[in-house]
């Protein structure tokens, strides 16, 4: 697709893992949380490194909720 990411050699692989979403009937892709964490780590900017802590907490909370449903 012509986009570059630091952590991924192939944007298309990342794009294919992205879940579909929609807002007001407009479809779009959202980067998978695991890919977002990997990309933020690879970028290494201070604000991205801070985001990793919060995103990791969200991921844990989401995993805990999914485990409760099973």
End-to-end CA distance of the chain: 37
3-class state of residue 40 by DSSP: helix
> How confident is the model at residue 55, as a pLDDT?
93
Average pLDDT score, the chain? 84
Do 30 and 21 form a contact (C-beta atoms < 8 A)?
Answer: yes
> How confident is the model at residue 63, as a pLDDT?
77
pLDDT digits over 36-66, tens only? 999 899 988 999 999 999 999 988 887 776 6
């Amino acid at each position: 697709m012509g986009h570059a990411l630091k952590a991924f050699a192939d944007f298309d692989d990342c794009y294919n893992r992205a879940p579909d979403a929609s807002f007001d009937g407009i479809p779009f892709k959202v980067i998978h949380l695991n890919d977002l964490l990997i990309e933020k780590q690879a970028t290494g900017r201070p604000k991205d490194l801070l985001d990793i802590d919060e995103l990791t907490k969200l991921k844990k909370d989401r995993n805990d909720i999914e485990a409760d449903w099973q």
